[in-house]
Amino acid sequence: MPSYDWERPLQDLKELAELTGGPDGARRLAWSEDWRTARKWLLGKLEETDATVERDVAGNLWATIPGASDKIVVVGSHIDAVPNGGWLDGCLGLLAAVEVLRAHAGETPQVTLKLVDWADEEGARFGRSLFGSSAFSGSLDPEGVRGLRDAEGISIVDALAENGVDLGDALGATSRQDRIAAYLELHIEQGPVLEAEGVQAAAVSGCAGVQRHRFRFRGQSSHAGTTPMDRRRDAGLAAAQVALRVEEVGAQHGGMATTGSIVLFPGIPTAVAGEAELLVDLRHPDAGELAAMLADARAAAEAAASRRGCEFEAESVWAIEPIPFDAELVAMASDACREAADSDRVLASGALHDAAEVARVAPTAMVFCPSIGGISHASEEDTAEPDLIAAIEAFGLLANRVLST
Amino acid sequence: MPSYDWERPLQDLKELAELTGGPDGARRLAWSEDWRTARKWLLGKLEETDATVERDVAGNLWATIPGASDKIVVVGSHIDAVPNGGWLDGCLGLLAAVEVLRAHAGETPQVTLKLVDWADEEGARFGRSLFGSSAFSGSLDPEGVRGLRDAEGISIVDALAENGVDLGDALGATSRQDRIAAYLELHIEQGPVLEAEGVQAAAVSGCAGVQRHRFRFRGQSSHAGTTPMDRRRDAGLAAAQVALRVEEVGAQHGGMATTGSIVLFPGIPTAVAGEAELLVDLRHPDAGELAAMLADARAAAEAAASRRGCEFEAESVWAIEPIPFDAELVAMASDACREAADSDRVLASGALHDAAEVARVAPTAMVFCPSIGGISHASEEDTAEPDLIAAIEAFGLLANRVLST
């Protein structure tokens, strides 16, 4: 058994929060000066492990401890954060991975051990999540993202170039797929389930699929004071009705269904809304259920539009199919959670992770630990220390077992 | 009977549209260069009437034909328009009033006849409607509007000064109230009722009261993918539910109830809305019914908020009590509509008009003509010519009768 210190990643996390956080939360926006500072700090930590560090053409950072076999086990996560983010999202998994490398420093493990820090998991600046891991899996479409700009109008192409990444070359990262036997990632749940159930660490069965659509309703804008109630074609009320129905669809199918954005036009108190846009985000780990949710939501929208004399059209904004993780690795993760945290809980992730991209091309598993109040992407993001330690231990046990099989 | 030409105001309206309109609609925003151009054109028309023209300290334009008695009958409306507005809103009534003066040019009517062009009825630039007429009635609070700025940051104080109006002096216009026996105004309905009923001209019983409130819901923003449906505190869905209930409240009380603005925070597809703001606009000609509508809407909001674990607070944005017109003048207006347009229809106005301000201090009546499709405040605003002519005739007959009583 290598010499792990389950508490050391906590000290590392606090050090990183000191360096790139503060009362307003994390400052580690991908491709920014702050992010480069965080990565420079990470390089210092990796020096303790004697690992060989390289960057791939998509900006992902890799650290390697060569093993007896050229079969590869990868541990990792991401150091980037949303603006004003928390101290655990991404970093927890990355520092737990550093600890795995530290524990094997100076050894020659049975298989080659690699750490990866995926570039731009959050997509907070350009709206494109999982940049580095999707370049690695090959699902990135460089031409599809070439036109993206940040809030200040800076092109993604220029921001990447500033960080030594040529967008046109990014798919070269797919060459790293070879010989990967397992990818393991620890992450906070970012939801309230584990905390509510009193579970310290749980295996993740896979990532839910997502169907995100823009529902557009076109009625007739008219004067709020002169248009009788029975002569209105109120697109805003059509959208409101559908939002409520979408909520029911989520509950009925055991998935997640959210309408976090409703925009009305002209959007003034003195006019009936002539147009409304509703963003519908549907998630389910089962592809059939997800398709049924979308069909139900669309049918509700068509019915509401027709009842209110509105036109309806739907536009797909983004979609990803459910991605199940590797059954054998998930079972091993569950065993590790039982040992470290006395937990048999296996849950699907409703949030996306780099692991979902990796799972397209290599056997993958994840471990989750609770998030207090389910809060993430905010400076209040936190997890009780005993839970963090238990989850880091579960992750370390899992890594050990995978390394020795 | 004075020599009216019921079709002449149509020629005037077309001339004005030629001068200050175009394919994108009217360009007569109050206090602008275009508005001053329109008023200069109006002065030309008034020259044909031999009336004495003056401006009051609030920027309202008055034209006077002295009569045998110093009792005053006022006819008028407003020449200002919303940006990209129509060719009839305001101007129709003003040009019909010009025709009344023209018909009496060179005479000494029994009572003194005045025309008024109220300044800034629309409030389109600074968000404060009925500026000139409320200065006249005395309901304007100069200090309450002093801080207003337009979209370019220009202060209302400076815009008024540019037009020779000192905000601090505006209430001096109240001195014009003396001896006014009647105020009469012709306007387009700006709603679909008269067109649907095939009515060419109708008497207006008064203006509906308005209660406009901002309903604010505070729940908890959380991750769309990780927050189970039964653990959400979705402020957006609380607002959606209330919007639908507000619609029912309008129908139940025979009033108008509109939710033309819903704003969600953070307003992104990947987060449950933690906050929502709903603007609720309620209108009814009866004060008791209006109060009951507000109570019902508030109760619905409190229930929805409580059911969804949200906090609720309401803030009054603006309110005006129902303003009934003068019963005797309304009956005379109805007689005139019967004679000119074979119509007994009397309706309440859901939109506000300068007449509502004048009615606070002098006997008032209005005549409405239909709006095609109920459309107004848009370049498509229109009324069939025979309807315009019938309504102008009804207004002329009404003015004659009031002048001779």
pTM: 0.86
pLDDT (tens digit per residue) in B193-241? 999 999 999 999 999 999 999 999 999 998 899 999 999 999 999 999 9
User: Rounded to whole angstroms, how far apart are CA atoms A36 and A76?
Assistant: 18
pLDDT at site B377 = 87
What is the phi/psi pair of residue B122, to 5°?
-70, -35
B373 φ/ψ angles, rounded to the nearest 5 degrees: 65, 10
Of chain A, the end-to-end C-alpha distance in Å amounts to 14
pLDDT in tens, B228-284: 999 999 999 999 999 999 999 999 999 999 999 999 999 989 899 999 999 999 999
Listing DSSP states for B25-69 in one string gives -B---TTSHHHHHHHHHHHHHHHTTT-EEEE-TTS-EEEEE--SE
Separation between Cα atoms, residue A259 and residue A244, nearest integer Å: 9
Q: What is the ipTM of this complex?
A: 0.87
Mean pLDDT of A356-378: 95
At residue A1, the pLDDT reads 58
> pLDDT for A308-341, tens place per residue?
999 999 999 889 999 999 999 999 999 999 999 9
- Tokens 């290599």, located at residue: A362
In single-letter form, the type of residue at position B222 comes to: S
Q: Where is B70: in which H helix or E strand?
A: strand B69-77
pLDDT in tens, B356-377: 999 999 999 999 999 999 989 8
Amino acid making up residue B340:
A
Interface test with chain B among A188, A249, A270, by most B beta carbons within 10 Å: A270
With a cut of 90, say whether residue B350 has pLDDT above it: yes
pLDDT, tens only, B118-144: 999 999 999 889 999 999 999 999 999
Q: What is the pLDDT of residue B405?
A: 82
Contact A228 B258 (CB under 8 A): no
Whether B61 contacts B77, CB under 8 Å: no
From the CA of A242, how many Å to the nearest CA of chain B?
9
Band the pLDDT of B317: cuts 50, 70, 90.
confident
Whether residue A289 is predicted with pLDDT greater than 90 in this model: the reply is yes
Q: What does the mean pLDDT of chain A come to? A: 96
Where is average pLDDT lowest: A22-26, A97-101, A360-364, A391-395? A22-26
Token reading at A89: 């999202």
Closest of A214, A280, A217 to residue A249, by C-alpha: A280
| Cα A385 to Cα B144: distance, rounded to the nearest angstrom | 55
Does the pLDDT of residue B325 top 90, yes or no? yes
The pLDDT of residue B146 is above 80? yes
Residue A121's contacts (CB-CB under 8 Å, 6 or more residues apart) are A30, A77, A78, A80, A90, A129, A130, A131, A132, A133, A353, A354
Q: Give how far B405 is from chain A: nearest CA, Å.
A: 33
Tokens of B67: 């009569």
pLDDT at A2 over 80: no
pLDDT given for residue B261 in this prediction: 95
B236 contact A CB<8A: yes
d(CA B232, CA B276): 14
Closest CB to B264 among A226, A237, A261? A261
- Long-range Cβ pairs for the range A158-163 (8 Å, 24+): A159/A31, A159/A125, A159/A126, A160/A31, A160/A59, A162/A31, A163/A31, A163/A36, A163/A59
- Is residue B1 very low, low, confident or very high in pLDDT (cuts 50, 70, 90)? low
Q: Do A242 and A301 contact (CB within 8 A), yes or no?
A: yes
Rounded distance between C-alpha atoms, residue A110 and residue A404, angstroms: 6
- Would you call B309 an interface residue with chain A, using a CB distance cutoff of 8 Å? no
Q: Give mean pLDDT, residues B319-348.
A: 97
- The DSSP-derived string for A245-270 is HHHHHHHHHTSEEEEEEEEEES--TT
Q: How far B400 CA sits from the closest chain A CA (Å)?
A: 29
Which whole number is the average pLDDT over A30-56?
Answer: 96
Contact B270 A257 (CB under 8 A): no
Domains and CATH numbers, chain B: 8-207+324-403 (3.40.630.10), 209-320 (3.30.70.360)
The pLDDT, as a whole number, for residue B254 is 96
Interface of A with B in 365-384 (CB under 8 A): 374-377
Question: Across B161-301, where does the E strand assignment appear?
Answer: 180-188, 202-207, 209-218, 222-223, 256-265, 271-272, 275-284
